[in-house]
Amino acid sequence: MNSLNKVWPDRATFKKNYQDGKSQLVGLALIADTQTPVSAYLRLAGGKPYTFLLESVTGGEVLGRYSAIGMEPDLLWSSNGHKATLRDTKGNIVEKSDDAVTHLKSLVAKAKIDAVPDDAPPMLASGWFGYMGYGMVHLVEPTVPDTKPDNIGIPDSVMMRPTLMAVFDNIRQVVHLAVPVRDTSGDADKTYDAAVTRLMAAKQTLIYGDLPLADRGSNVSTPIAIKPHTDEAQYLKMVSRAKEDILAGEIFQVVLSQRFSADFDLSAADLYRSLRRLNPSPFLVLMTLDGYSLIASSPEIMVRVRKGEVTIRPIAGTRPRGKTREQDEALATELLADPKECAEHLMLLDLGRNDVGRVAAIGSVKVTERFTVEKYSHVMHIVSNVVGQLDKNVHPLDALFAGFPAGTVSGAPKVRAMQIIDELEGERRSFYAGCIGYLDGNGDVDTCIALRTALLKDGKLYVQSGAGIVADSVPASEHQECVNKAKALFRAAEDALDLSKVQS
């Protein structure tokens, strides 16, 4: 597949795979030195429902090698509680299940691509993309109550199986287009021709398609009015109550969150363009679903499974970036010398090691990075890295749920912390503290935590943020931490609103 502007595989190879009953990709690589992942998304997907763009910025400064665009799914999976529904894109129900986790495992297995070129970029052959909200925890930890109202009204989880992928190689300046062919029951020549026709149409759109940009100004004034869903006095009471539980020995730490909202009358793509510029992060997400969108700049892996290796990468402990190199280094030294930050990070590192150990082969769990300072565009964090070899009897999806939700958005011990979260927080977390990512039919999983994430629905922007409460937490400081974290997304919203008025 190294050749540019040449469809792969050739017809003879495709027909041989097809006749052997093998699922495969039909692909095409193009020079993309005049394109960006954002412009390609706007041209190919145009913000249509069930489309996405995934990007990565390393260290807040270097664009990750690969960016992925997915569109035109043939199947949509959603769940609420234990009940799951599989639909086609016309909304027709294909299957129903009362066991969402088992059902999703079976769908992931069916998404497997048998014939994938050795040099195919990541995500090109991945099966299911989407999000799993915090509510999925009630499927894997039944002792955690689910008593609070759902004030947003989206499914617990939605996954889509795209039939057209575009993966950018940002180093080689090449975009790989691919159409998966899983059904081998028809005519091989007609199937091949149909796939090639779709690739050529996508190529034409990429090269000659219009670039749809916001053509109107916003009616929302800036600075935007941010509405807290929990008043400050109530949040301070929540923190004080959590500290009582800590002093009583119930938990060591709990993450208490609160939601904020504001009016926003532009598109999700408008917000994403501002967010990726102002707050570049390791996991940048633009995902448009049916009537709502997720826009994220998450710094943290939830769980990754790659070629049988499980990774959890806890992040806890924060300082702002310095204005000079010397100031930057001084802040990093100060961060590693802070006993509260280090104690909290150690607790979450131990939790990550335990989560990996639940699904890894005995003796394979290792801490490959310990208390490393990782620098992003605006902040620096203490980061550790835990890996283990997935036990051969464990499904990759079980590895995801072993670390779900992350300790950095729940607490320790995790189950008791989540029980306290349900007691103290005022509304269901919905998308917040769940995960966004993909499940590969060939056994890989890659997810980020849904934090520093906004939900856009019905002209409202919802942002949720939390603070880790420990024994010596100061309630007012923890409240301010939530406000500061949320403001990063609202600043991006204000930037998008201001830009729309200038451009119009």
Mean pLDDT, all residues of the chain: 94
Tell whether the model's pLDDT for residue 59 goes beyond 70.
Answer: no
Tell whether the model's pLDDT for residue 247 goes beyond 60.
Answer: yes
Taking a C-beta distance cutoff of 8 angstroms, is the pair 403, 108 a contact? no
Active site residues: 381, 408, 432, 452, 468
When pLDDT is cut at 50, 70 and 90, the band that residue 250 belongs to is: very high
CATH number assigned to the domain covering 227-503: 3.60.120.10
Q: What is the pLDDT of residues 323-349, one digit of tens each?
A: 999 999 999 999 999 998 899 899 999
Q: Torsion over CA of 246, 248, 250 and 254, rounded to 10 degrees?
A: -10
Taking a C-beta distance cutoff of 8 angstroms, is the pair 447, 129 a contact? no
The whole-angstrom separation of Cα 106 and Cα 395 is 11
pLDDT at 233: 98
Tell whether the model's pLDDT for residue 246 goes beyond 60.
Answer: yes
Choose between 69 and 378: higher pLDDT: 69
Q: What is the pLDDT of residues 383-442, one digit of tens each?
A: 999 999 999 999 999 999 999 999 999 999 999 999 999 999 999 999 999 999 999 988
When pLDDT is cut at 50, 70 and 90, the band that residue 264 belongs to is: very high
CA nearest to 2, candidates 37, 21, 27: 27
Q: What is the pLDDT of residues 118-133, one digit of tens each?
A: 888 888 887 999 999 9
Which residue matches tokens 């949040």? 235
What string of H, E and C letters represents the secondary structure of 317-341? Answer: EEEECCCCHHHHHHHHHHHHCCHHH
pLDDT at 304: 96
Tokens of 56: 């990565």
Residues of the chain with pLDDT > 70: what percent?
97
When pLDDT is cut at 50, 70 and 90, the band that residue 2 belongs to is: low
Q: What is the pLDDT of residues 470-497, one digit of tens each?
A: 999 999 999 999 999 999 899 999 999 9
pLDDT at 214: 55
When pLDDT is cut at 50, 70 and 90, the band that residue 32 belongs to is: very high
Q: What is the mean pLDDT of residues 309-313?
A: 96
Tell whether the model's pLDDT for residue 60 goes beyond 70.
Answer: no
Q: What CATH architecture is 11-208?
A: 4-Layer Sandwich (3.60)
3-state secondary structure of 396: helix
When pLDDT is cut at 50, 70 and 90, the band that residue 237 belongs to is: very high
pLDDT at 3: 81
Q: What is the pLDDT of residues 135-158, one digit of tens each?
A: 999 998 999 999 999 999 999 999
The whole-angstrom separation of Cα 387 and Cα 369 is 10
- Equal CATH topology for 11-208 and 227-503: yes
Q: What is the mean pLDDT of residues 82-106?
A: 96
Q: What is the pLDDT of residues 194-236, one digit of tens each?
A: 999 999 999 999 998 888 765 566 788 888 999 999 999 999 9
pLDDT at 224: 93
The whole-angstrom separation of Cα 181 and Cα 192 is 9
pLDDT at 340: 86
Q: What angle do CA 12, 18, 23 make, to 5 degrees?
A: 125
Q: Which residues contact 439 (CB under 8 A, 6 or more apart)?
A: 104, 108, 111, 126, 127, 128, 159, 396, 397, 400, 445
Q: What is the mean pLDDT of residues 253-261?
A: 98
Domain regions of the chain by residue span: 11-208, 227-503
3-state secondary structure of 100: helix
